[in-house]
Amino acid sequence: MIRVAGARWAAFVCCAVTVPAQVGPQTWGTIAVVVPGGPQVGFGAPFAIEVRHDVHGARIAEPFDEQSLAPAVLRREGGEAHTIVASEGRVTRRGVQRFTARVFASGEVVLPAPVLRVREANGTVHTVTGEPTKLAVRSILPDPPGDIEWAGDVRELPGSTAWVWFAAGLLLVGLGAARFLRRRPIAVPAPVAVAPGPPPPEPVLDQLAALHIAADADAAAVTAYYTALAEIVRGYAGRRFSIAAFVRTSEELLRSVAAGGAALAPCLQACDLVKFAALRPVAAAHEATRAAAAQFVRRWRRARGRGWHEGTVTAAAGFGLVLRDPAWLLLVLLLPVLWLCWRRTRVALAFAPAPLLDADLARGGGGGLPRSLRQRLAGLPRLCEVAAVVLAVVALARPVQRLPLPPERLGIDVLLCLDTSSSMAAEDLAPGRSRHDVALELGAEFVQQRAFDRVGFVTFARYPDLRCPPTLDHAAVAELLRAVGMVQKESPEDATGIGTAVARAAEVLGRAAAKGRVVVLLTDGEENVATTETPDEIAPLHAAQLCQALGVRVHGVVVGRGNQKPDGRFVALDTTAVQQLAAQTGGQFFAARDGPALQQVYRDIDALEKVAFAEPRTLVVEWFGAPLLGALLLLAAGWVLARRWLEVGP
């Protein structure tokens, strides 16, 4: 416990967030971090922090290191205030150092325990440690109106088949249950979009033949050549075997293609060495690698028209009708035994002259007694019963149909951050068209290219506005983009707040469950909201810290030739902040001086953000109801024939 003299220090104990601790076999002093305003602080907002320490005796406290309280950024406010208090026969030197702090993280943040170094008169240094300080950091951005509804998977899944088993049990008890089944509608499986067959190898061979590289090509050309070669081969393997070839390692891909691995291994190995080890093969190796890829593709051309080749992966094997419990088919072996038992137990009436009449008619040339149609079909009821038993056994074996579903892509969430300040009215990207119009048109094209991703956009000038949360309805996104306008020139909102806009986009993406979260920032100006005169605003680097914490990647795009002056001249922009923002979050920086360059930037971003394939999926459709229904119909037909039209007397 700490004994504090005076009402002032009693108030200090009441408002402190943490309780100072004593370390060591004896008390050299105490240290505590105090937040007078309470633990609730805003993201990036300044708040007061006091570091208070007591040093007992003639010891001297060394200066406090404000960097030890990271992730809080401290700025010293004035000098350290000292007070000498005499209590219980000893002298205590009390020091108070005030700081202005900021925290650029969200949620619960724990500041490290403060450390006080106390020096004795003989030079001995003691260390005193306090308690960690917990802060609750809330966002200072306004919440969007209403709830954001994230689009999910709306694909209908096949219903349960438990009712079929229940109906089958009832139908097996007798003919009455069979009539009940016939009155019920038969559930027909919904048509399923079956994945297309193996792709033809001819277009792939044409792509390989179109690849060319000069003998004296530089490192960039060699890397591009082998990267394109790997994409062609992996794309063909993924379509050919219905696997996620782009997200598998080379070893996993070779195991998947099985027998084709011998032809594919040298190609993948050469591509990996160039892309990841910066190897520069000789000119002869370029053609050899392409020949190995062509050999792998030609290997499967001979298998077309004869089903899957022996190298097909396990996930693609077993498509079509298969039996889940084929052991039940052994019951068919009991049919001959049942037939013999029936032959021995049937009742017959002996008539002695019958063989004599047959013999006399045969000698007379008549060929025996005439046989009517009913006599010839007398064994049809028994044949129906045998067929019904066979179909019932097939139903017990549970025939199912395995249908391959089309490969599914794992989409990401993308938010466009579009600058709508008045400077976007400059017409230097395309003749007669403003930067704003060109950016919106190309942005809509980019949205249509991301067919498997949830895409939305945020517009900003002085303040950011969430216009469309990430959604799969790309047509709605394009329509909302066409309705975006610019802010009025020299209005209170006519500014460029890049940091605030990126922080807003990162906060929206932080609520999503997607693994990939990307922000595409498009602006034509410099940050002029968060300046040295406005330290409370969110700077681009502060927004980058938030993006890092939420796993958001930012691609920065600066359009135009610079700021246009009233006389028509263009002044170059300082893009350092945007470049640092993209680099710190793992993204890329692009500069587009005209419309075609901006279109190429969107293509480059689309190529950077690859969408991975999910594992191959298979839909299983139960077909045991068809043989079971056929067995019941045959039993009913045999029963009716044996007792009506084909009834045989004893």
Q: Which domains does the chain have, with CATH numbers?
A: 7-138 (2.60.40), 153-191+326-345+357-405+621-650 (no CATH), 201-302 (no CATH), 409-613 (3.40.50.410)
Cβ neighbours of residue 164 closer than 8 Å, sequence gap 6 or more: 187, 622, 624, 625
Residue 355: is the preceding peptide bond cis (ω within 30°)? Answer: no
The larger pLDDT score, comparing residue 420 to residue 374, is at 420
Residue 98: strand, helix, or coil = strand
Q: What is the pLDDT of residues 288-320, one digit of tens each?
A: 888 888 888 887 654 443 333 333 333 334 567
Choice among 79-88, 104-113, 303-312, 541-550 with the minimum mean pLDDT: 303-312
Report the pLDDT value the prediction gives residue 511, as an integer from 0 to 100: 81
> Does position 613 have pLDDT exceeding 80, yes or no?
no
Q: What is the pLDDT of residues 51-67, one digit of tens each?
A: 888 887 778 888 888 88
Residue 221 phi/psi, 5-degree rounding, is -65, -40
Q: How confident is the model at residue 360 (pLDDT cuts 50, 70, 90)?
A: low
> Does position 148 have pLDDT exceeding 50, yes or no?
no
Report the pLDDT value the prediction gives residue 363, as an integer from 0 to 100: 54
Choice among 390-394, 411-415, 554-558, 610-614 with the minimum mean pLDDT: 610-614
> Does position 335 have pLDDT exceeding 80, yes or no?
no
The CA-CA-CA angle for residues 415, 416, 417, to 5°, reads 115
Report the pLDDT value the prediction gives residue 258, as an integer from 0 to 100: 59
Report the pLDDT value the prediction gives residue 356, as an integer from 0 to 100: 55
Choice among 167-171, 273-277, 324-328, 525-529 with the minimum mean pLDDT: 167-171
Give the single-character DSSP code of 416: E
Q: How confident is the model at residue 179 (pLDDT cuts 50, 70, 90)?
A: very low
Q: What is the pLDDT of residues 456-510, one digit of tens each?
A: 999 999 999 999 988 888 888 989 998 899 998 888 888 989 999 999 999 998 8
Highest mean pLDDT among 387-396, 398-407, 614-623: 387-396
Residue 192 phi/psi, 5-degree rounding, is -115, 135
Average predicted confidence (pLDDT) for the chain = 75
Global pTM reads 0.40
- Mean pLDDT on 578-586: 91
The larger pLDDT score, comparing residue 229 to residue 178, is at 229
Q: What is the pLDDT of residues 543-552, one digit of tens each?
A: 999 998 888 9
User: Would strands 81-87 and 90-103 be described as parallel, antiparallel, or unpaired?
Assistant: antiparallel
C-beta of residue 592 within 8 angstroms of C-beta of residue 419 = no
C-beta of residue 458 within 8 angstroms of C-beta of residue 415 = yes
> Does position 187 have pLDDT exceeding 70, yes or no?
no
Query: Percent of the chain having pLDDT more than 70?
Result: 74
Report the pLDDT value the prediction gives residue 147, as an integer from 0 to 100: 47
Report the pLDDT value the prediction gives residue 373, as an integer from 0 to 100: 78
Report the pLDDT value the prediction gives residue 520, as an integer from 0 to 100: 93
Strand residue runs (E) in 472-596: 517-523, 553-559, 563-564, 570-571, 589-592
Distances (CA, A) of 134 to 71, 470, 522, 555: 12, 34, 37, 34
- Mean pLDDT on 199-223: 80
Choice among 53-57, 279-283, 302-306, 347-351 with the minimum mean pLDDT: 302-306
- Mean pLDDT on 583-590: 90
Cβ neighbours of residue 182 closer than 8 Å, sequence gap 6 or more: none
Give the single-character DSSP code of 329: G
Q: Which residues pair with 570 in a beta bridge?
A: 564
* C-beta atoms surrounding 223 within 10 Å: 17
Number of alpha carbons in the 13 Å side-chain half-sphere of residue 239: 15
Two tokens, residue 493? 């909102």
Q: How confident is the model at residue 182 (pLDDT cuts 50, 70, 90)?
A: very low
- Mean pLDDT on 135-142: 74
Strand residue runs (E) in 57-150: 60-61, 72-76, 81-87, 90-103, 107-111, 115-119, 125-129, 133-138
Highest mean pLDDT among 127-141, 283-297, 433-447, 633-647: 433-447
Report the pLDDT value the prediction gives residue 20, as an integer from 0 to 100: 40
Cβ neighbours of residue 249 closer than 8 Å, sequence gap 6 or more: none
DSSP 588-649: -EEEESSHHHHHHHHHHHHHHS--EEPPP-EEEEE-THHHHHHHHHHHHHHHHHHHTTT---
Q: What is the pLDDT of residues 235-251, one digit of tens each?
A: 888 777 777 777 677 87
